[in-house]
Structure formats: C-alpha cells, structure tokens
Chains A and B, each alone.
Chain A
Amino acid sequence: AQRVTQPEKLLSVFKGAPVELKCNYSYSGSPELFWYVQYSRQRLQLLLRHISRESIKGFTADLNKGETSFHLKKPFAQEEDSAMYYCALQGGSEKLVFGKGTKLTVNP
C-alpha cells in the first residue's frame, strides 16, 4: 500500500532562515514523488516533482530511497512562501496519494 507521512502539521520560521518540510513515504516499488502547494485563497498547484530534478521558487527536493524520504528544502525562506504544502506519491498504476500537509508560516 502507498502511504505518505508529513510529520509536521505546522512549521514556523523567520524570513531568511532555512526551511525543510519533511516527507516520508511507504511504497514497495519505484515511486514518483511530488510537492504541491496551496497559497492563501488559491487553488492547489504543483510545486515540483522529483523526476524533473528542478528548483522552483528556490525550493528543491531530493528523493532518498534508502530513507524513503522526499524532504522539501529552501535555504532562505521568504514571507511569500507561507502556504500549505502537500507531499504526494504516485506508484505504478496507482493514482496520487497525498500526505496530510504542513502549514508553513514565514515570519518577518
């Protein structure tokens, strides 16, 4: 069975500080992993996916198969990064499975 765990419901950092949003997954095969973000009063949207190995808005995420993790990182948080972040997994023919989300607040 596929499972995504985001251990932190809330995360608060100061502007300019590094931020790391944790995501651990459970899946026996080779997963596709994604981070989705929902800014205040906006719809859920894709932030990045591991297959693209891209950096979006300064965020990066590395898939660690040994630790079954896909943590989202940014070296210097900005106030506009405040949002709800969801880690999601897609394995084989299964559809996207989301974690419960982490609410990030970046304080001035």
Chain B
Amino acid sequence: ETGVTQSPTHLIKTRGQQVTLRCSSQSGHNTVSWYQQALGQGPQFIFQYYREEENGRGNFPPRFSGLQFPNYSSELNVNALELDDSALYLCASSFSGAGNEKLFFGSGTQLSVL
C-alpha cells in the first residue's frame, strides 16, 4: 500500500509568483484535502476534492485553486503569492463516503515566499 506523497518537499518563491504543489493519494482513496499550516499553528482547511469536483472550501481567497485528476492525484495552485503564504502545505487523502473518514497525511511541502 503506497502512502500519500507530496512534491516538492521544499520550495522558495518570490512575491507575485505562482506555484503548483502536487499530491499523490494513498492507493484506493478517492478524496483529497489540502491544508495550510503556518508556523506554530494547527492545519487550516483550504479545500477538498472528491471525484474530481471541489467538495468544500475553507476561508481562502480564489487565488488558491486546485485540481483532482482521474487517478485521484491532486494539485494545489496559488497565484500572486504573498509573504503570508509561507507555510507548510499538507495534503491528506481518504476514502469517502459521507465524511467523517480517516485522513492520511503526506509529509508536506514547505513553501517560503520572499
């Protein structure tokens, strides 16, 4: 059984640039959720994708967008990067149903915006 993998592990960008983060779901999972974890904070929900459709969104601006592919892998795109976007971005996959499912997290991508 393959776990959740994220790439890249670290990334440095400058303000105003765009970034794409990638996530491969655990085998058999059909749902991907993205979280932002700022230093000293808990993970904050960005959005979730279920069967290639957005299935819930947290309090993040539209410049945060995502995709889920037929193989259930996913991308998180952030446009017009701001300094406050510097954080650890976590991907979590699960097998969904109706929610309340167990999340399996990746190791994260550490994004630094200069």
Contact = CB atoms under 8 A, between A and B. Distances in A.
A8 interface: no
B106 A43 contact: yes
Contact of B44 (A43, A93, A98): A98
Q: SS class of chain B's interface: helix, strand, loop or mixed? A: loop
Given A32-B100, A94-B56, A95-B58, A43 B105 contact: yes
A45 B103 CA distance: 8
Interface string B77-110: 0000000000000101000000110111111100
Select the residue from A43, A94, A97 with max chain B CB neighbours within 10 A.
A43
Interface residues of B, number: 23
Interface of B: 4, 33, 35, 40-45, 48, 56, 58, 90, 92, 99-100, 102-108
24 contacts: A6-B42, A32-B100, A43-B4, A43-B106, A43-B107, A43-B108, A44-B92, A44-B105, A45-B105, A51-B100, A86-B42, A86-B43, A90-B99, A90-B100, A93-B99, A95-B45, A95-B48, A95-B56, A98-B35, A98-B42, A98-B44, A99-B42, A100-B41, A101-B42
